[in-house]
Amino acid sequence: MSATPGTHMKHEIDQQPAIFADLLAAQEQFAEVAAVIAERRPRFALLAARGSSDHAALYAKYLIEVLLQLPVGLTSPSTTTLYGARPDLTDVLLLTVSQSGGSPDLVAVTESGRASGALTVAVTNTTDSPLASAAELSLNIRAGAEQAVAATKTYSATLLALYLLIDAIRGGGAALARTLPDLAATTLADAADPVEEAVQRYRFAGRMVTTGRGYSLATAHETALKLAETSYLSARSYSGADLLHGPVAAIDAETAVLALCSAGLGGESTREVVEAVHQRGADICAIGSAASKTPAAHRIPVPESAEEIAPILEILPAQQLALGLALARGIDPDNPRGLQKVTKTT
């Protein structure tokens, strides 16, 4: 680990615009895998992942259901590893997402799925991993080695890789993503001051709630995870709809709420949720391209983009906030207590 707290995490956050540019230049791998999937014409998609990769898989769930009009489910790996379930997966697309490719249960799910008839695709940052070997096809997210314990560049690169794959399956040419490297650089630069103000505002917060709807729900979940693992905050994430069905009762003036509010249907719906939360006195920080239209005590703007790629930009200031809060609270996010880079679950 670096002697200077947060050095690795900051460096990897700053690398993301270049990583996006590299992924966009690697269209061939997405086109090749997409062609196989399109030829097989799956009737259903399943997604398997853990941790941050599970949030990326949730993003892919929205993409597949909306852009490909396919039903999608999230697997429960323990049904395979603990209970020995072997459902018939004929004509099913099984996408397994893992930056390390080393989780035994995800490898087991992929091997079982392939043996049960699924078309298996691994999305990983480690091309020689057991997961990549277990799957019929694999995609490299090309993020490079990640030194920080908290995933930053591997998470956003996974989001972009999943978008590029799904866009290629529907015959798209990644047109909506072409400007992502420049938009990401602008986001990181423009968010620096608002993020620092948010750090000073929330450095003593005891609990936070993150919320979003649609594509941005993945960002809400990932942001809560980053805050918990780097700053040891009690952070929970909810979809806007779920937040209003019970958990809102626990929100008061002592609660900080981070709301993902980007242009599009999901952001519009989230603003309605924020208005309800605002009435309960919560301290609200709005993050996104529609933050200026949201009732909030603090705002972190993000450049506007197509709604389906907004989560790739939204997560950048959230990562900066997690880093800043950890440092302000005297915590080294490169060496969080009790955490390792690769978690091997069974």
Check the CA dihedral 278-284-287-293 and report its sign: positive
Rounded to 5 degrees, φ, ψ at 136 are: -70, -40
Rounded to 5 degrees, φ, ψ at 331 are: -115, 140
State which amino acid sits at residue 208. Answer: M
Check the CA dihedral 308-310-313-314 and report its sign: negative
Q: Which residues pair with 206 in a beta bridge?
A: none
Q: How far apart are CA 153 and CA 199, in angstroms?
A: 21
Q: What DSSP assignment string belongs to 246-285?
A: TGGGG--TT-EEEEE--SSHHHHHHHHHHHHHHTTT-EEE
Q: Is 341 one of the annotated active-site residues of the chain?
A: yes
CB contact at 8 A, 117 and 90: yes
Rounded to 5 degrees, φ, ψ at 110 are: -65, -45
Q: Of the residues 153, 293, 341, 344, which is catalytic?
A: 341
- Select from 107, 112, 97, 92 the least CA-distant residue to 45: 92
CB contact at 8 A, 329 and 231: yes
Q: Which residues are catalytic?
A: 341
